[in-house]
A and B are shown apart, each in its own frame.
Chain A
Amino acid sequence: MNRFVIITAAGPDRPGIVAGITRVLYKTGCNIEDTSMTLLRGEFAMMLIVKLPQRLKVQDLEHHFKAVKKSLGLALLMKPLSVKEARRNKKPAGHPFILSVYGSDHPGIVYRVTRLLTSRAINVTDMNTRVIGPVRKPIYVMVLEVEIPEKVRIEGLKTALRTLQKAVKVDMALHPVESAQF
């Protein structure tokens, strides 16, 4: 029996979306766990891991969302998760690095960069991209947080990225996430 669900939702931005969604969760006895929400252009996009109360089925929860979905114009998707799938504190698969990629916008930047990462078993854990600059000469900016496995040699990876940089005509920088536990 799945006791968790991941909800993804998006809708035109306005005050009250988070309150509208979490009101339903509160009323139905759900417990909100990890979430990430952000504004992309005019759309507010949300991802929430929610713990379901005993006896509440995912289908029933979907039914409870009907009214708020309509009033806020939301697209909503629910995926049940097992306890194992929803478990916390997954051990990181490597060292955290930030990869910034930027250049004149053209199709294929994201794919060609992430294809290189996946070929080395490097996992993307967080990612943001934006089109910036003038409409006629748009610039693409992408920042990825990745986990680089122990066995990957950073110098070798940097060489591969430099080669790709020339082929895709973008600029790139890779550096370890600077953080400290005090």
Chain B
Amino acid sequence: MAVQKIIQYPHPILKSRSETVQTIDERVVRIIKNLLDTLTASPGVAIAAPQIGEADRIIICDVSGKIKEKNHGRIILVNPLIRHREGKKIFREGCLSVPDYTGNVSRADKVWVEGLDQEGRPIRLIAEGFEALALQHEIDHMDGILFLDRIASLSTDIFRRKTY
């Protein structure tokens, strides 16, 4: 159990669909521990299993060190799923697996998420704002979707004239 190397694009695992976790066995527990260690040692606020080379549907998110707004602290989610989305927010995102680049990404402002905790018990939560963005970013990793697939606008096109 240790800090793992963060896999970077163009590694194919980042563009692949991860497998649903069937049982929370020793292997899954080890992946969760490695994700926690790796996230703690990284500048990011969330991490997904494929980013450490494991094609399993597991994410960890902890925005408590980054924002003051209400949040759920450390969230460990196995087989995460977004049940419902509301609102829209454009935010400049980066990804540990795509170094040196950020882009304006459009996501829901509020999400209803469910999954299992590390003991296999069902979890349901409603996340808003920054935490909701982080969760959506990580859940995208489960299906091989990167923020680069969701760029909404160029950072320099604030004034792009719109035709109504």
Residues of A within 8 A of B (CB): 36, 38, 88-89, 126, 128, 130, 141, 143, 145, 177-182
Contact = CB atoms under 8 A, between A and B. Distances in A.
Nearest to B95: A182
B44 A179 contact: no
A145 B92 CA distance: 13
B103 to A, nearest CB: 10
A180 B133 contact: yes
A182 B159 contact: no
B137 interface: yes
Interface residues of B, number: 24
Nearest to A142: B159
A149 to B, nearest CB: 20
Contacts, number: 52
A89 B44 CA distance: 19
A180 B156 contact: no
Given A128-B156, A130-B159, A141-B159, A181 B91 contact: no
A181 B94 contact: yes
Nearest to B135: A182
A89 B100 contact: yes
A180 B45 contact: yes
Given A128-B159, A180-B133, 7 more contacts: A89-B100, A130-B159, A179-B94, A180-B130, A181-B102, A182-B46, A182-B138
Contacts of A178: 91-92
Contacts of A126: 155-156
B100 A180 contact: no
B31 interface: no
B66 interface: yes
Nearest to B105: A182
B10 interface: no
